[in-house]
Amino acid sequence: MTSSTQRSYIVVGAGVFGTSTALHLIRRFPDASVTLVDRDAYDASTRVAASWDWNKVVRADYRDPVYCKLALDAQDVWRADRLWSPFYHESGVYWISRTGFAQAVLDNYARLGRPTEGRLYALPLAEARRRYGGIFDEADYTGVENVLVNTTSGWANAKGALRAVTEKAVELGVKFVTAEIEALEFDEDGACVGVRTASGETYTAAHTILSTGAFTPKLLEKTANSTGKDDFRAGCRIIAAGVTTGLAQLDDETAKEFAQMPVCIQENPPERGASNGTLPLNEDNMLKWWGQYIFKNTQDISGNQISAPPGAADYAQWAVPDTLVQDVEFANKATFGKRGEAWKITKHRICWDAVTPNEDFIISPHTASRGLYLATCGSFHGWKFFPIIGDYVVQMLEGTLKQDLKARWAWNRRMLDPSGNISWPRKELKDLQ
């Protein structure tokens, strides 16, 4: 129990948004009661969180100047802060784009006063093929004139960073609870006062923050049904979406050839999906790819059609159908051509995240109930903001978030038509079986 004057917070979901929020809350308010709840222990061997992974891209290469600035700020922390820097690797990023992306990024860096000379540049195709020892010389360059090389971007050890930051938050006073959330709790006036777990335990606080990722639409649908208030529903704001990853073990000799490899991202023609790509070797000499299919998993929940991860405790994340295995194989071929044909890609996983129509986050009070907030919707690009995103959540909770971000990340904001967003999931998981 907390005293009537003590600040109290429950953060549901210990991925990037939730863990960063808990850390920033306990640093800002050391005497506060901060409880971080997740279905998986933070030191579990595997987790369902999109934030749990072998490695994730850390880049500031954005067309959107707002996210470009936020990512640059996050990178500054990744480089300099001793909590984060052990997990960050500034390998560079090699962008194969058909849309003039390179110039848009260069323009953003210039507007933000960030140096680019010798660090960020567009290479003509013939020259780009020779970079990094020619390891990308057989990539698919159809329709490509220039390749963007950003030597100041890279990647991070995702599961290592997530565990270390959670441990730091616990060390500072955050209480970590491993539990499945069954329902939100409300007082007689309709204010959210906490959560109830599947085992029947109740945790109460003045602020309940949902950082529940792909589970969010389902949780809010259940809440709408139990309270009779339609305003809880996510509606068109959020969709749970999946993407497939896979890893290949390289032998020692090949690993030496790829030791200085950058992240490679290939923007696809619209009919193929948003992008595919590969990340450099991890500590076990494994390369990782992600496929281009982004898909949903529509289910009937009390008469409404909602996309949500499969109902298995582990989201059936390791049960990857052959079509999606082939999707990752295609990413390998599009990146390395014949060079990658001998590699056996294993450890396929479906990563589930919450996506919005315009790929903006939701960091906002929920208008259906006082005391209920959201900090979620990484939209498959939120991981890199891990060091700083919790600070913006605290600003939202304190009412100090700048107006432009408040409007952009609001629960009730104008939702764009997703038809022009190539990252919006259009395929159904059942059709990919």
pLDDT digits 0-9 by tens, 323-360: 999 999 999 999 999 999 999 999 999 999 999 999 99
pLDDT band at residue 100 using 50, 70 and 90 as cut-offs: confident
pLDDT of residue 73: 98
Low-confidence winner among 14-18, 114-118, 383-387 (lowest mean pLDDT): 114-118
pLDDT of 204 over the 60 cut: yes
CB burial of 67-78 (b: ≥16 within 10 Å; e: otherwise) equals bbbbbbebbebb
Name the burial class of residue 143, with classes exposed (0-12), middle (13-18) and buried (19+) by CB atoms within 10 angstroms of its CB: exposed
Rounded to an integer, the average pLDDT of 412-417 is 88
Q: Kindly state the average pLDDT of the residues 53-73.
A: 97
Mean pLDDT of 362-389: 98
Report the alpha-carbon distance of residue 154 to residue 89 in Å, rounded: 6
Q: State percent of the chain over pLDDT 70.
A: 98
pLDDT at 244: 97
Mean of the per-residue pLDDT values of the chain:
95
| pLDDT 10s digits, 4-53 | 567 999 999 999 999 999 999 999 999 999 999 999 999 999 999 999 99
pTM of the model: 0.96
368: pLDDT strictly greater than 80:
yes
Quote the pLDDT of residue 99.
82
Q: What is the spatial distance between Cα 53 and Cα 372, in angstroms, rounded to a whole number?
A: 29
Band (pLDDT 50/70/90 cuts) for residue 419 is: confident
Which is higher by pLDDT, 100 or 372? 372
Answer yes or no: is pLDDT of 264 > 70: yes
Q: What is the band of 414 on the pLDDT scale with cuts at 50, 70, 90? A: confident
Q: How confident is the model at residue 270 (pLDDT cuts 50, 70, 90)?
A: low
For residue 5, the model assigns a pLDDT of: 64
What's the whole-number mean pLDDT along residues 47-75? Answer: 97
pLDDT at position 98, please?
85
pLDDT value at residue 1: 43
Secondary structure of the chain as H, E, C letters: CCCCCCCEEEEECCCHHHHHHHHHHHHHCCCCEEEEEECCCCCCCCCCCCCCCCEEEECCCCCCHHHHHHHHHHHHHHHHCCCCHHHEECCCEEEECCCCHHHHHHHHHHHCCCCCCCCEEEEEHHHHHHHHHHCCCCCCCCCCCEEEEECCCEEEEHHHHHHHHHHHHHHHCCEEEECCEEEEEECCCCCEEEEEECCCCEEECCEEEECCHHHHHHHHHHHHHHHCCHHHCCCCCCEEEEEEEEEEECCHHHHHHCCCCCEEEEECCHHHCCEEEEECCCCCCEEEEECCCCEECEEEECCEEEECCCCCCCCCCCCCCHHHHHHHHHHHHHHHHHHHCCCCEEEEEEEEEEECCCCCCEEEECCCCCCEEEEECCCCCCHHHHHHHHHHHHHHHHCCCCHHHHHHCCCCCCCCCHHHCCCCCCEEHHHHC
